């Protein structure tokens, strides 16, 4: 699959450059700008919990995934066409699948989208805090969760940075996608931890916040009787803590029977909203029917109702 990336970049360098970002007929000439890279982290809804359907197997060749793990169908550090599942062989459809497709509907034809996907079912946000990761991983008890973190040598943050630096050799990191919160997004402390993680990623990869926005997706909401809907007031306030962070609404995104994980159609809609918001932030004139928002008037509080005794792990791996 290494040849796939080389062929995409070689084709890109043959194209001319234009300044108007509103049309996918625009071309860019800087080779690194022809591969937009996005870092994707989170827990089970980022892992992906819906079985891919036949329509999901049709993937543009310009949508590629830098594998962060060794698994039966992929090798760590190698690019592959982003056929789901993206996280690991035994996972499912996730928002990133349709984020990438949506981006490519509007980006110049010589631009590819590459994603790096590091996610763990059921995790708290501190697994991505490089200063708390080791202690948190050492405290994990369930065998299924231990098996997942072992894919990342028990340090998902370090693996994310390792893969991101590899991707920077050929492309440019343009954003970070986060979907996490069912476990612990019930107070401002979660927002402060996300802010630290975001800052650490920017620092460790020599990135500037204004060039690398953070998109944070809501959990299944009240309209879907979401088990973790009470995390959303906290998630919706992330822009108060990080000026370059934006909430992605889950309103109308259908869920599975457990009302924790999204159904396939819900993932498709949520992923499209991630993509449209990122395109808007890059200056593309995309219709604002995404239901994205900066924040809400509902304040998060430390004593907000929190979902407890819920199995947040991926049902594809449990069954």
Q: Which residues are catalytic?
A: 44, 258, 261
HSE on the CB side for 102, CA within 13 Å? 23
143, two tokens: 């065998």
| CB distance 46 to 99 below 8 Å | no
Segment (H or E) for 217: strand 214-217
> How many angstroms separate the CA atoms of 79 and 48, rounded?
19
> Burial of 164 by CB count in 10 Å (0-12 exposed, 13-18 middle, 19+ buried)?
buried
**Torsion of the alpha carbons at 114, 79, 162 and 87, rounded to the nearest 10:** 80
Edge-to-edge order in the sheet of strand 63-66: 79-81, 63-66, 112-119, 35-42, 172-179, 214-217, 245-248
Rounded Cα–Cα distance for residues 191 and 304 (Å): 14
Rg (CA), the chain: 18
CA angle 160, 142, 132 (to 5 degrees): 40
Backbone angles phi, psi at 102, to 5 degrees: -65, -40
């Amino acid at each position: 699959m290494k040849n796939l990336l080389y062929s995409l970049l070689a084709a890109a360098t043959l194209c001319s450059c234009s300044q108007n970002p509103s049309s996918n007929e625009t071309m860019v000439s800087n080779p690194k700008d022809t591969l937009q890279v996005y870092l994707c982290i989170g827990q089970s809804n980022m892992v992906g919990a819906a079985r891919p359907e036949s329509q999901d197997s049709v993937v543009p060749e310009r949508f590629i995934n830098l594998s962060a793990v060794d698994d039966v169908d992929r090798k760590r550090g190698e690019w592959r066409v982003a056929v789901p599942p993206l996280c690991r062989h035994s996972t499912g459809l996730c928002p990133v699948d349709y984020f990438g497709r949506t981006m490519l509907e509007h980006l110049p034809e010589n631009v590819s989208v590459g994603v790096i996907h590091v996610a763990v079912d059921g995790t708290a946000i501190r697994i991505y805090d490089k200063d708390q990761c080791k202690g948190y991983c050492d405290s994990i008890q369930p065998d299924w969760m231990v098996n997942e973190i072992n894919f990342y040598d028990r340090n998902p943050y370090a693996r994310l940075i390792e893969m991101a630096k590899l991707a920077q050799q050929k492309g440019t990191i343009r954003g970070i996608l986060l979907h996490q919160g069912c476990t612990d997004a019930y107070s401002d402390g979660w927002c402060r931890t996300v802010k630290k993680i975001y800052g650490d990623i920017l620092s460790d990869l020599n990135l500037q916040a204004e060039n690398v926005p953070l998109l944070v997706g809501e959990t299944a909401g009240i309209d879907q009787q979401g088990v973790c809907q009470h995390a959303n007031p906290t998630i919706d306030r992330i822009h108060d803590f990080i000026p370059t962070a934006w909430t992605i609404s889950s309103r109308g995104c259908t869920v599975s029977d457990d009302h924790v994980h999204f159904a396939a159609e819900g993932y498709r809609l949520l992923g499209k909203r991630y993509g449209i918001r990122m395109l808007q932030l890059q200056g593309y004139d995309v219709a604002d029917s995404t239901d994205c928002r900066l924040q809400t008037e509902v304040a998060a509080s430390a004593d907000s109702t929190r979902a407890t005794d819920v199995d947040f792990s991926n049902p594809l791996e449990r069954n």
